[in-house]
Chains A and B, each alone.
Chain A
Amino acid sequence: MIKRLLTICAATMLLAACETASTDSNEVVGSSSAASSGSDAAASASSNTSDGSTSASSEASEASGSSGSNSADSDMQTPDEMLAKVGSTVYFGYDESTLSAEAQATLDRQAAFLKANPTIRIVIEGHCDERGTREYNLALGDRRASAARDYLVAKGVNASRLTTISYGKERPAVGGSNDTSYALNRRSMSKIN
């Protein structure tokens, strides 16, 4: 069980790493209005990915670099795998639902992927870290999922292909009560519906 947890953790960190590979300035995320909160985790989801295997991350950045290649690759890949390559997860600052530049870049790739695959529908999950009350986090998760959805719609994806669901703090991606985990758990995740 522990082993599996670690695997999930590593995978998520990889995703985070590839999303922010080019700009290591992740600290800026969310600082616009949440900076004063005492328990704000620095939103540095990618800070300790030293164990992320370089081959995997370069593969991912290859895919994200040219989203047009999706259709060529798609013979061998399931839609889930394709979406994972594009980047299914978007991260948020503490008590934030604003989309950082990295988040927007990920959603741009998701929008391109959805346009290239017009039959695919996705559900966007909104998630929170554990440092909030249950009801508020359910609402905040809805806010995050809606922010991601609205961005995709603004980029031309038909709203009827997108649904949202909030899990609040019920389904963390990463275990552990620490700032690194919290940063990875404040997220929206797009999944093939």
Chain B
Amino acid sequence: MLRIYVLICLLVANLVSGIAFSQTTRIDITDGQVARIPIAIADFTGPDGTTTPEGRQISKIISDDLQNSGLFEPVDSAAFINPPSSPDITPDFANWSPLGVEGLLVGSAFFDSENTLQLEFKLWDVVTQKALTEGGGSADPAGLRRIAHKVADFVYVEFTGDKKYFDTKIVYISESGPQDKRVKRLAIMDQDGHNHRFLTSGRDLVLTPRFSPTAHEIAYLNYFNDEPNIYLFEVATGRTEKLGSFPGMTFAPHFHPDGNKLIMSLAQDGATNIFEMDLLSRTTRQLTNTIHIDTAPSYSPDGKKIVFESDRDGGRQQLFIMDSDGRNVKRISYNKGRYATPVWSPRGDVIAFTKMLAGEFFIGIMRTDGTAERLLARGFLVEAPTWAPNGRVLMYYKQDRFEQDGSGGNTRLYKVDITGFNESIMNTPADASDPAWSPLLGSNP
């Protein structure tokens, strides 16, 4: 159980200050220059106005989210003078302006007599000395981190003008063991690395997980019984289901934005083509028909187009876009190198990809017409970009070189802002690859 609301009564004030606000601190992502927004996050308090352990924990989660986004600089709370003991109290701005902060987040958070977490918050613009937004909600103890992420999302949206992304999960492949007998397991965690959980035992080789639009299901490649096929994994129950029987290997799944369809590759007799499956009727339709390799398909956010990679044009992987019924295939990548694993931004305007050039791997983005290519990350082996649901952050994995004696080969998840700033490693218990970022989670877990 998790509930959160924003009070309507402050909408007017919010709009007014929001306009002035957007001129001064809104971040222009095409600029490529990111100045972190200094912000103060007070420890959340209990009914008596003093800090509670849960309040401190929540403030830390919010602070970490904002810090890790690369767009905020939370100020050390040791510098705070007399923070308000409740979100209802107007702060003494004379204490906050000298810290150079633009925002001040104040809140209360405590467990009530029924062990339900009660939370309220208010976000102040320290420059205009006005409240930007306020809200509150409740959660059971297991929902503490999620409700904190939701508050962080409110702060993020207010100051950046971008959409939320902190209340999300990552599914990925956890890796262990020697290079030739790698054990791979499905694993899931919150966007900040917490609440980590293994979903499969490692007995069967599993690869390339993808979330459904509700985040309730994961499509992935499973080598169960040495018959590689796409399976569905139901997150709540752990139930798995093979997605049909085919005359060859199915792989590279990707959900339609409406959740009722899935596109995938089918490899048969050396040719790999793209198929669409209706998940309700389980009927399939062939979308490409070549003797080449067409794979890694990804829908546009409106579901009307598909971007994919193919070696049909000269034998090297390039990116192509077609209508969702397979018509009007058009190549979009023309720069040097090979292009692979395209994924359409949730904003619709750009496509992220893996690029191979001169013995190196890159993560980059280009417009949907192939122009304005920008490379955001590079390494010995870097691949598999996945978008945060707001289209602002990309996650992918990097693998180092393996030495002949089996050492090296560190394989880790990274994320980067689409300006190319703030590349940072994700904490995972073991080596990690093939990340997939979930959509924003719903009101229920």
Does A76 touch B at the CB level, under 8 Å?
no
Shortest CB–CB separation between residue B341 and chain A, in angstroms? 5
A-B contact count (CB 8 A): 127
Stretch at the interface among A13-21, A49-57, A172-180: A172-180
Q: Are A8 and B180 in contact (CB-based, < 8 A)?
A: yes
Q: Are A133 and B406 in contact (CB-based, < 8 A)?
A: no
Contact pattern, B 265-305, Cβ under 8 Å of A = 1, otherwise 0 = 10111111000000000000000000001011000000000
Closest to A138 in B: B251
Q: A5-B180, A146-B269, A177-B380 are in contact. Are A134 and B208 (CB under 8 A)?
A: yes
Does B434 touch A at the CB level, under 8 Å?
yes
Q: Are B309 and A165 in contact (CB-based, < 8 A)?
A: no
Question: What number of B residues sit within 8 Å (CB to CB) of A?
Answer: 51
Shortest CB–CB separation between residue B347 and chain A, in angstroms? 24
Give bound CA distance, A168 to B309, whole Å. 16
Q: Are B340 and A136 in contact (CB-based, < 8 A)?
A: yes
Does A33 touch B at the CB level, under 8 Å?
yes
A residues 128-151 with Cβ under 8 Å of B? 130-136, 138-140, 142-143, 146-147, 150
List residues of chain B with CB within 8 A of the CB of A146: 269-270
Give bound CA distance, A39 to B380, whole Å. 12
Q: Are B249 and A176 in contact (CB-based, < 8 A)?
A: no
Q: Are B293 and A172 in contact (CB-based, < 8 A)?
A: no
Q: A33-B315, A138-B267, A165-B249 are in contact. Are A133 and B403 (CB under 8 A)?
A: no
Shortest CB–CB separation between residue B309 and chain A, in angstroms? 7
Q: Are A2 and B405 in contact (CB-based, < 8 A)?
A: yes
Give bound CA distance, A46 to B60, whole Å. 58
Q: A133-B340, A170-B205 are in contact. Are A139 and B180 (CB under 8 A)?
A: no
Give bound CA distance, A131 to B358, whole Å. 11
Give bound CA distance, A136 to B384, whole Å. 12
Question: What number of A residues sit within 8 Å (CB to CB) of B?
Answer: 39
List residues of chain A with CB within 8 A of the CB of B384: 133-134
Q: Are B434 and A134 in contact (CB-based, < 8 A)?
A: yes
Q: Are A175 and B270 in contact (CB-based, < 8 A)?
A: no
Does A1 touch B at the CB level, under 8 Å?
yes
Does A181 touch B at the CB level, under 8 Å?
yes
Does A38 touch B at the CB level, under 8 Å?
yes
Does A97 touch B at the CB level, under 8 Å?
yes
Q: A135-B208, A135-B341, A175-B180 are in contact. Are A140 and B293 (CB under 8 A)?
A: yes
Does B226 touch A at the CB level, under 8 Å?
yes
Q: A97-B270, A142-B248, A166-B267 are in contact. Are A134 and B383 (CB under 8 A)?
A: yes
Q: Which 3 A-B pairs have the closest CB atoms?
A: A146-B270, A142-B267, A139-B272
Which B residues form the contact surface with A (CB < 8 A)?
A: 178-182, 184, 205, 207-208, 221, 226-228, 248-249, 251-252, 265, 267-272, 293, 295-296, 309, 311, 315, 317, 340-341, 354, 356, 358-359, 380-381, 383-384, 399, 401-406, 408-409, 434
Which A residues form the contact surface with B (CB < 8 A)?
A: 1-2, 5, 8, 33, 38-39, 95, 97, 123, 130-136, 138-140, 142-143, 146-147, 150, 165-168, 170-178, 181
